[in-house]
Amino acid sequence: MVHRRRAADAPGLLRHRRVREGTTLYVELATGRHARTGRGWWTPRLAPGEDRELLRLGTPAAVAEARHLVYDAEGRALAHEVEIGPASRWTRTDEYPMGG
């Protein structure tokens, strides 16, 4: 949820539709602050009633939740994004170096 005190900085976040350029880029452009680092969490969970209704899922239903927290150069939170979707339409792939 957008903190109302900051709504004047980025009013497009109050609209109930997708931010075409992406939330982080929109906030950067609106505030003049720039993303430096980010942290992401991916969690499977059972969907509560509201999520099941919005996603038109049966009962019980699993969903995948992704949260992204983006910080600016001073370490201040710049954006917090939450995505929720049916578990059947979600995948995650990581690539990383191993060994020497």
Q: Where are the domains of the chain?
A: 4-89
Mean pLDDT score across all residues of the chain = 84
Q: What is the mean pLDDT of residues 21-28?
A: 88
- How many other C-beta atoms lie within 10 A of the C-beta of residue 70? 21
Task: Give the C-alpha separation, 87 to 63, whole Å.
Answer: 4
CATH architecture of 4-89: 3-Layer(aba) Sandwich (3.40)
pTM of the predicted protein model: 0.69
| Burial category of 84 from C-beta neighbours within 10 Å (exposed 0-12, middle 13-18, buried 19 and up) | middle
Task: Give the C-alpha separation, 34 to 20, whole Å.
Answer: 18
pLDDT in tens, 62-82: 999 999 999 999 999 999 888
Name the 3-class secondary structure at 83: strand
Label residue 2 by pLDDT band (50, 70, 90): very low
pLDDT in tens, 37-60: 999 998 999 999 999 999 999 999
Do 80 and 69 form a contact (C-beta atoms < 8 A)?
A: yes
- Residue 93 pLDDT greater than 80, yes or no: no
